[in-house]
Amino acid sequence: MDMAVEAGVINQHLIDPEICIRCNTCEAICPVNAITHDDNNYVVRADVCNGCMACISPCPTGSIDNWRKVLVTKAYSIEEQLSWEVLPAPLPEEQLVATPSLAAPATITPPVPAAAPAEAVFRSSDWGATVPPWSAARAFTNLYGPKNAVTATVVGNYNCTEAGFESETHHIVLDFGSMPFPVLEGQSIGVIPPGSDALGKPHVARQYSIASSRNGERPGYNNLALTVKRVTQDHQGNAVRGIASNYLCDAKVGDTVRVIGPFGHSFLMPNHPRSNIVMVCTGTGSAPMRAMTEWRRRLRASGKFEGGKLMLFFGARSQQELPYFGPLQSLPKDFIDIHLAYSRTPGAPKRYVQDLLHERAADLAELLRDGSTHIYVCGLKSMEEGVVLALRDVAEGAGLPWETLGATLKREGRLHLETY
Amino acid sequence: MSALPSTMNYSDKIPNNVNLSEDRTLQRALEQWQPNFINWWDDVGPEGSTNHDVYLRTAVSVDPQGWAQFGHVKMRDYRWGIFLNPGDAERKVHFGDSLGEKVWQDVPGEHRANLRRIIVTQGDTEPASVEQQRHLGLTAPSMYDLRNLFQINVEEGRHLWAMVYLLHKHFGRDGREEADALLQRTSGDQDNPRILGAFNEKTPDWLAFFMFTYFTDRDGKFQLAALAESAFDPLARTTKFMLTEEAHHMFVGESGVSRVIARTCQVMNELKTDDAQKIRAAGAIDLATIQRYLNFHYSVTIDLFGADQSSNAAIFYSSGLKGRYEEGKREDDHLLKGQTYKVLEVKEGQLVEKDVPMLNALNEVLRDDFIKDSVAGVNRWNKVIEKAGIPTRLSVPHKAFNRQIGALAGIKMSPDGRVVNAVEWAAKQDEWLPSSEDFAFVASLMGRVVEPGKFAGWISPPVMGINRQPIDFEYVRFG
Ligand SMILES: Cc1cc2nc3c(=O)[nH]c(=O)nc-3n(C[C@H](O)[C@H](O)[C@H](O)COP(=O)(O)OP(=O)(O)OC[C@H]3O[C@@H](n4cnc5c(N)ncnc54)[C@H](O)[C@@H]3O)c2cc1C
Ligand code: SF4
Ligand code: SF4
C-alpha cells in the first residue's frame, strides 16, 4: 500500500477522528513529518506521506490505518481534514475516473487507448499481509544496526546447485559465537560487504533470507544458513560482479562477516498444529521455505507436530540450477507435496511456478478454503504478480471471490510476499 | 520464543540501547536491583496473572519496527528494557538561563538535588499505579480489557526501569538508594506511602480505572512532555520514549469510558428512560454516576500539578530542568522573566483572578494545558451521547472544585464554580462526588468476563482489536 499515483487515483492516508485519541504518537514517529494537528484533529498531508507504514503499529487506537481512494486532483486537504468529525465515506468507483478536462490539457493529442478500462489496475503487492500469522512466535528485529554490527564466522560454504552451470548458488553457514542472534524462519539478515563503493562510501548492507530454522542450521549451535546466488549479470544480462554475493560466495571457512538485523516481523511461519503452509518460490527465494520446512521436519521428528499440510511450488531455470535439489528429493511425500517448474530446460516447454499453481488448482482450492492455510511467496520480483493472479484464478475458479478471500488472507496475515 | 544461546546474555533480558553491556558497574548495579524488582512484581504486581500468556507489546528498540513488537508473553518474563530516544549531538538548551548552551550529558553539580527529586517523583508514580491496579484483573469486563490492563502494568514497570536507570547511571550511591526506596514505598501504605496523593487513592473498580487512565495517565503525558524538554539530555530522551507508550494508557481510559457511555446510552434508548434506578437495574451505569466519577478523578488529578504558585517550578524552569509542554513550539523568549500569569484565589467568599509572576505560575500553566486537552476528550465522549440522541452532556468541574493542594485547597466549591458553605457542601457532596452507594453499585457490576469476544453488560465492545487483531482474539491464554 503506498501513495503512488495510479491513473490519477491515489490511496490517501487518513486518520479516523472518531477513534483517534490525539496522543501524538504518529506525529512523533513519522519519519517524513507527514502528520500534523490542531486542537481538533490529527491529519496526514497527502503530498508528504509516502506510505511507509511506520505509524501503523505504534498507533494505540488503530485509527491511523485508514485509506481512501481519491483522484489526485481532489485529495482531501489538510484544512478539510482538520474540520472533520467523522471520516468521509469511500467514493464510488465512478467518481474515481478522472474527467478528461482535469486529466489532460485541452490539446488535440490523440487519446492513448485505455488498457482494459473496466478493470482497476491489479497490484499484487496490495494483497501482501503486513501482520504475522496469529500463532507466529515473537520475532526480534533490529537488534544490531550498522553502528553495532555483529561479527559472525563462516563455518560452512558450498555450492548447492550443480557445479559448472552459469548460475551458482551457495549454502553458507554463519556462526555468531556468544553474541545473541535470535531468529525465526522467514526473517532475514543484512551483510555489510567490506570496502567502499566508487564514491568512497562504505558499502551498504545487502539483505539475505535465513535458510535455517530457529534453533540453528546445526541445532543447539548459535548459527544460521543463507542461500546466496552469485550475481554475475545485472537484471539486463550485462556482466557485473555483485559486490555482496560474490564476497559471500568466495568467503572461506574461518573468515568473518559483519552482520546486522535480524529483520522482518510479518513473513513468519504459523506455529499452530493445524496450520497448512503453501510455499511458492524461485531461486534463492527458497531460503525461507527451506527454513520453514526444516523447522516442521524437526518438530515432526520430535513427535511435537502432527497435522497441517506443506505444499511447495519451486521454480528455477533448470534442475541443475535449482538450489537444494538433492535434499529436496529425500523429503517424505507424506510430509511435503513438492512441485518443480523449469523455465530453461532444453527441448522442454517453459514452465513457471504459476503454471504449477494452475495445475494443482483442485488441491490448492481445498487449502484456500481452510482458515488455517498460510501462503508464502518469495523470489524474483517478476514472479510476484503472476503468482498472485494465479492464486486469484484458483480461488475464483473454486467459487471463492478474491476480493473477500484476498482481503481475509491479508488481514489475518496469511498471504506473505517477499520478492526482490 | 526463539532459540537463544544457552548462556543468557543480560542485554537480552534487558533490551537496551544504552550500551549496558559496556558499563560493568552499572550493569552490576542493575543486576542487583532486578531481583528486587521481580520480588516487588510478585508481591504487589497484577494479582493471579503469573501463568497467563498475554498478547503484549514489547519494545526492543526505539525505531518504529522495534518498539511495538506484539506477541504472547508471560508478564513475569516481559523484557523490561531501557530505551532512550535517539540523541542529537547538536541539541541546545532551549529555555531558561542556560538557553543556547549545549545540553548536558551529565548532571551538573548545582542541579543534582533538584534533578534527583524530579526523577524520583516521576519514578514513584510508575510502580504506584501498578499497585493501585493489582486486583483489577480479577474483575475484568473482557479478555480484551484484561490484556489492556496488563499492557499498562508492564509498561508502568518499564517506566520505573527507565527512571531507575537514570538514578543508577547518574546519581551514584544516592541514586541507588533512591532506586531501592522506589520498591519499598507502597501505594496507600500508612507508614510508607507513595509520594503523591493521587497515587495513594484506591482504584476500586474498572470505571475508576478508566477514569484514572484517562485523567491521571494524561497527567503523566504532560509531566513527561515537560521533562522531554529538559536540558539534561538523558532525561529528555528517556521521557520522550516513554511518551510513545503513555499513549496506549490514555487510549485505554478514553475508549474505556467511551464504551461505558455507549452501553449506558444503548440501555437508555432500549428502555426509553433516563431514570437512574431503571438504568442501574438493567445493569448499566447511569450518566450521573459517570459524571461523579469524572468529577472525582479530574479534581484529584489536577492537584498532581502542584501548588499554583511555586518557587520550585520557577527554579526548575530557569535552571533548564523542566520546560513547558511543547516548549519548542512556543514563540516567546523562553525566559519568562517579568511576565505574568493569572491564577485563582478566593477573596471575601468570591473567586478572583490575580496576576502572579509567570515563572512562579508554571505549575498552573501546565495544569491549564492539561485541562484543555482533557476537555477535548470529554467532548469526544459527549459526541457518543449526542449520537445516541440523548440530551445530557458531561463536563469537567470547575478548576477549584474539591482541591487539596495550592491556594484553592479545602475551599468548598460546587462543580459549577460557586463558593458554598459547609452545610450546602455536606448536603450536596453525594451529588457531586461518588458516594459509598455509588461505589457499592459499580462494584456490584464487576464480575469477571474473560471468554474471548464476550463483554460484561455495562460496557460496549471496542471498535477494533489491538494491533488490528479481531475483537475475539485470544488476547490472554490462561493456564
Ligand atoms: C528481503 C530480501 C531478501 C533477499 N534474500 C536473498 C537471498 O536469500 N539470497 C540471495 O542471493 N539474495 C537475496 N536477496 C538479494 C540480495 O540482497 C542482493 O541484492 C543480491 O545478492 C545482489 O547483491 P550484490 O551486492 O551481489 O550485487 P550488487 O553489487 O548490489 O549489484 C550488482 C548489479 O546486479 C544487479 N542485481 C542485483 N541482484 C541481482 C539478482 N538477484 N539477479 C540479477 N541481477 C542482480 C544490480 O541491479 C546491479 O546492477 C534478498 C533481497 C531482499 C530485499
Ligand atoms: S505511512 Fe509513513 S509517511 Fe505516511 S504518515 Fe505514516 S509514518 Fe508518515
Ligand atoms: S497515533 Fe493514532 S491515536 Fe495517536 S494521534 Fe495518531 S492517529 Fe491518533
The C-alpha R_g of chain B, in whole angstroms, comes to 23
Global pTM exceeds 0.90: no
CB-based contact, A32 to chain B, within 8 Å: no
Ligand 2 atom nearest to CA at B64 = 7
Q: Which residues of B touch A31 (CB under 8 A)?
A: 64
Whether A25 and B70 lie within 8 Å, measured CB to CB = no
Cα gap B145→B128, rounded to integer Å: 20
The C-alpha R_g of chain A, in whole angstroms, comes to 24
Q: Choose from B154, B214, B251 for mutation: most chain A CBs within 10 A.
A: B251
Residue by residue, pLDDT tens for chain A (420 residues) are: 333 444 577 889 999 998 898 888 899 888 888 999 988 899 999 888 888 888 888 888 889 989 888 887 888 999 999 999 889 988 877 776 644 433 333 333 333 333 333 345 678 888 999 889 989 988 888 888 888 899 999 999 999 888 777 779 999 999 999 888 999 999 999 999 999 888 778 888 899 999 999 999 998 889 999 999 999 988 788 889 999 999 999 999 999 999 999 999 999 999 998 899 999 999 999 999 999 999 999 998 888 777 799 999 999 988 888 898 878 888 888 899 999 999 888 888 888 999 999 999 999 999 999 999 999 999 988 899 999 999 999 999 999 999 999 999 999 999 999 998
Whether B64 and A57 lie within 8 Å, measured CB to CB = yes
Q: What is the per-residue pLDDT across B238-253, written as a single tens digit (0 to 9) for each? A: 999 999 888 899 999 9
Whether B221 and A216 lie within 8 Å, measured CB to CB = no
pLDDT-derived band at B447 (thresholds 50, 70, 90) equals: very high
Q: DSSP letter string over A317-343?
A: SSGGGSTTHHHHHTS-TTT-EEEEEES
CB-based contact, B68 to chain A, within 8 Å: yes
Nearest CA to ligand 3 atom 6: A26
Cα gap A123→A50, rounded to integer Å: 17
Nearest CA to ligand 1 atom 34: A234
pLDDT top residue among B280 and A349 = B280
A183 CB less than 6 Å from ligand 2?
A: no
A209 CB less than 6 Å from ligand 1?
A: yes
Q: Comparing A2-16, A62-76, B278-292, B302-316, which segment has the lowest mean pLDDT?
A: A2-16
Nearest CA to ligand 3 atom 3: A20
CB-based contact, B259 to chain A, within 8 Å: no
Measured between CA atoms, how close is A323 to chain B, in angstroms?
A: 26
pLDDT top residue among B362 and A29 = B362
Ligand 2 atom nearest to CA at A51 = 1
CB-based contact, A139 to chain B, within 8 Å: yes
Amino acid at A248: L
Q: Tell me whether strands A373-379 and A276-282 are parallel, antiparallel or unpaired.
A: parallel
Q: What is the per-residue pLDDT across B56-96, written as a single tens digit (0 to 9) for each? A: 998 888 877 777 888 899 998 898 889 898 888 889 999 99
The answer for residues whose C-beta is within 8 angstroms of residue B123's C-beta and 6 or more apart is B159, B160, B163, B164, B167, B178, B179, B182
A34 CB less than 6 Å from ligand 3?
A: no
Ligand nearest to the CA of A197: 1
Whether B73 and A216 lie within 8 Å, measured CB to CB = no
> 490511496: which residue's cell?
A11
Burial pattern B297-319, b for ≥16 Cβ within 10 A else e, equals bbbbbbbbbbbbbbebbbbbbbb
Average pLDDT over residues B201-220: 94
Cα gap B44→B113, rounded to integer Å: 29
pLDDT top residue among B316 and A130 = B316
The predicted pLDDT at position A304 comes to: 78
Chain A / chain B CB contacts < 8 angstroms: 115
Nearest CA to ligand 2 atom 7: A30
A30 CB less than 6 Å from ligand 2?
A: yes
CB-based contact, A146 to chain B, within 8 Å: no
CB-based contact, B89 to chain A, within 8 Å: no
Asked if residue B350 has pLDDT above 50, the reply is yes
- CB distance B73 to B54 below 8 Å: yes
Q: Which residues of B touch A61 (CB under 8 A)?
A: 251, 255
Q: What mean pLDDT value characterizes chain B? A: 92
The predicted pLDDT at position A141 comes to: 85
The predicted pLDDT at position B8 comes to: 37
The predicted pLDDT at position B21 comes to: 83
Cα gap A60→A47, rounded to integer Å: 24
Asked if residue B3 has pLDDT above 50, the reply is no
Q: Is the dihedral of CA B442, B445, B450, B451 positive or negative?
A: negative
Ligand 1 atom nearest to CA at A229 = 11
Q: Comparing A95-99, B152-156, B460-464, which segment has the lowest mean pLDDT?
A: A95-99
Q: Would you call B202 exposed, middle or buried from its count of C-beta atoms within 10 A (0-12, 13-18, 19+)?
A: exposed
ipTM comes to 0.77
pLDDT top residue among B329 and B429 = B429
Ligand nearest to the CA of A56: 2
CB-based contact, B375 to chain A, within 8 Å: no
A391 CB less than 6 Å from ligand 2?
A: no
Cα gap A348→B139, rounded to integer Å: 68
Whether B3 and A215 lie within 8 Å, measured CB to CB = yes
How many residues make up chain B in this entry? 479
Which grid cell is A192? Answer: 555489510
Our mutation pick for probing the ligand 2 site, out of A50, A63, A68, counting the most ligand atoms within 8 A of Cβ, is: A50
Q: Would you call B254 exposed, middle or buried from its count of C-beta atoms within 10 A (0-12, 13-18, 19+)?
A: buried
Which grid cell is B117? Answer: 527529586
Query: Which H or E run includes A245?
Result: helix A243-250
Which grid cell is B450? Answer: 474473560
CB-based contact, B5 to chain A, within 8 Å: yes
The predicted pLDDT at position B286 comes to: 98
A13 CB less than 6 Å from ligand 2?
A: yes
* DSSP secondary structure letter of residue A239: B
Other C-beta atoms lying within 10 Å of the C-beta of residue A124: 19
The predicted pLDDT at position B5 comes to: 31
